[in-house]
Amino acid sequence: MENPDDETAPESETTAAPEPKGKKRRWRRIAAWSLGLLIGLPVVAFGIAYVLLDVRSPEEVLADLDKTVVLQNADGSELLKVIPPGGDRLFVPYDAIPAKLRDAIVATEDPTFWDNEGFDLTGLGRALVTGVGGGSGITQQYIKKSTGNEDATLARKFSELVLATKITQQQTKKEIFESYINIISFGRGTYGPASAMNAYFGRKLDDSMTWAEAAFLAGMIQSPSVHDPYASTHEHAMKRWSYVMNKLVTRGYLSQAEAVAMTYPEDAIQAPSETRAGRVTFEKYHLKQRVLAELEQVGYPLDRLRGGAMKVETTIDPRAQAEAEKVLKERLQGQPEHFRASLVAVEPGTGAIRAYNGGGWSVHDYAGTPYGTGSAFQPFTLAAGLERGINVDEPLKSPGKVDFLGETFEFQDQCGEAGKCTLREAIGRDARGPFVDLAKKLGADAVRDGARAAGIPEAVDGAVTLREKDGFLIGPGIAVGRYPLRPSDMAGAYATFAADGMRATPHLVSKIRDENGEIVWERPSDKAPAFKDDEALSRRIAGTVGQVLTSGLKDRPAALKTGDFQYNETDDNAGGWAVGYTPRLSTAVWVGSDEPRRMRDAAGEKLTGKTIPSDIWQRFMSGFHRGLPVKWPAPAQTVAPARPR
């Protein structure tokens, strides 16, 4: 019997007849033409682009950076101008760039720079698959900056590939690096390493530069308005510095022992000199820095804005901004010199920041700095409980002691003679025991999730929020507001309750227009139900929280919660909060000092959230709402308690 799988076996009589030779030839021609077009068209397009496209010189690029960027208020009036600082764009030849700085930049931005053909195949492949950019090396970054085209598109990646190939064939790697480093922004209005060295360290650029300084400057390139320690914190900048140091070790420029022996150059880093020169007030400086940081995050760094002479429409209400500045100054006048304060106001439902005051004392932005919140955190614990069906009007025994996650909390009886109170009563009396007990029953993860749902961000400047310093564990401090949050975070999360449970990300940038007035970018709305993506549930939770919080204004419906942050084991506080809202505005006020200390006012009275912070909040909110019609919240809908099982 013949084997049917044997290739030498004769075909059976039922085998189909072979296709005619003419038909086969036709299919071969189609396949050949298709393959030719597939290969030929990109080659032709590449060749045409190679001839037509050119890279501008760094001198031409720097000349374009003399254009002024205008920041506008929400009503179109001018907020401030970002004016190019004269003399901060010094061109530095390659041989004058310290070797340590060259190595730190290459190790961080493009480790294969000296050997590659000018482009990153990984980033190009990602662009071909997804249609967006990514992973550009030094040559591609130079082309992106020189052309002014930073859109994450396939077309941009193609032109970038063509120009990277062309410039690599026409110039040496030293020339490319020289051009690149002289048009890169290091922040603080600087372009090039000489102006950057002077702005951050107050020194000339020479070979006395240390590895620690080189790593710091190399770390600025990725996002200077974010990584500047005076725009974020030294803690954040140190993380970026450590990242660069690790790259230097990984790439073989430093040994592990050498890197360990070095320290972050905190004491050598100077504060920005812009405000000392009297160009803007500290309040406007903080606002400008936050706007520029936000613009970087949406793909519009300062050099791109300058190259296009763009105008940025912010969300700031000039009337609210002026009221915030006036109230802070008036209320703190006559108080001890170490008193500091900040205020952030957010529009419920949109996330638009209508007022942002980081303080008028220094370049340190108190509105952008996280602080412990104390009992001002309680509404988030309450929201987590409401999501799981707790009853805010059920009488509870106020515990004198609660063991939670390895820590023992002891409380004085704040629930009256009977020793019992509801959660509604407890939040009004600032009774901590019932809320620590509730946090224990819900679990730390649930409490964190309640705050996240309301709008507390998962991370700020790369640091995870609502966690221990290791970034993983959630400790008992979450039950008493020990984890630090920024005033902008608190105002944004309370705005969720004001907006009937609809969450929106707080932001300062609304639109960007080119020099012809055309909108080139507009912030999309991200308004969404906060809790379980359920609009009805979110509305009920927000309604109950609003009912439970005490009223903060006399002439209109409002909700207010105060909080204190205890100073060590004393009876005094290191800071105080007042956070609350109307249907029109959610506002957070923080009062404290530069360093943790006992806070007592000019009369010797202990600082609490109910004293100066509450007074600032009421004055600001009353001033903002003066003359505005009363806007009533939606009819309150409480969360029904869980049915017994």
Whether the CB-CB separation of 570 and 535 falls below 8 Å is answered with: no
Tokens of 205: 């650029």
CB-count exposure of residue 75 (10 Å: 0-12, 13-18, 19+): exposed
β-strand pairing of 586-592 with 573-581: antiparallel
Maximum separation of any 2 CA atoms in the chain, in Å: 113
Whether the CB-CB separation of 309 and 67 falls below 8 Å is answered with: yes
Tokens of 525: 């709305």
Euclidean distance between CA atoms 587 and 344, whole angstroms? 6
Measured on CA atoms in the order 515, 517, 519, 522, is the torsion positive or negative?
positive
Euclidean distance between CA atoms 387 and 532, whole angstroms? 9
Euclidean distance between CA atoms 388 and 385, whole angstroms? 5
Euclidean distance between CA atoms 167 and 106, whole angstroms? 18
Tokens of 391: 């009853």
3-state secondary structure labels for all residues of 239-300 = HHHHHHHHHHHHCCCCCHHHHHCCCCCHHHCCCCCCCCCCCCCHHHHHHHHHHHHHHHHCCC
Give residues with Cβ within 8 angstroms of 141, minimum separation 6.
Answer: 109, 110, 180, 184
Secondary structure element (H or E) that encloses residue 421, with its range: strand 420-421
Whether the CB-CB separation of 515 and 310 falls below 8 Å is answered with: yes
Torsion angle (degrees, nearest 10) of CA 290, 291, 294, 299:
-140
- Active site residue: 159, 375, 586, 614, which one? 375
Active site residue 375: yes
- Active site residue: 109, 160, 213, 387, which one? 109
Of the candidates 338, 346, 344, the residue with the CA atom closest to the CA atom of residue 357: 344
Euclidean distance between CA atoms 547 and 22, whole angstroms? 84
Euclidean distance between CA atoms 52 and 162, whole angstroms? 10
519-522 β-sheet, strand order: 78-82, 69-72, 311-314, 509-513, 519-522
- String of DSSP letters for 143-203: HHHHH-----SHHHHHHHHHHHHHHHHHS-HHHHHHHHHHH-EEETTEESHHHHHHHHHSS
Euclidean distance between CA atoms 594 and 582, whole angstroms? 30
Give residues with Cβ within 8 angstroms of 14, minimum separation 6.
Answer: none
The catalytic site residues sit at 109, 375
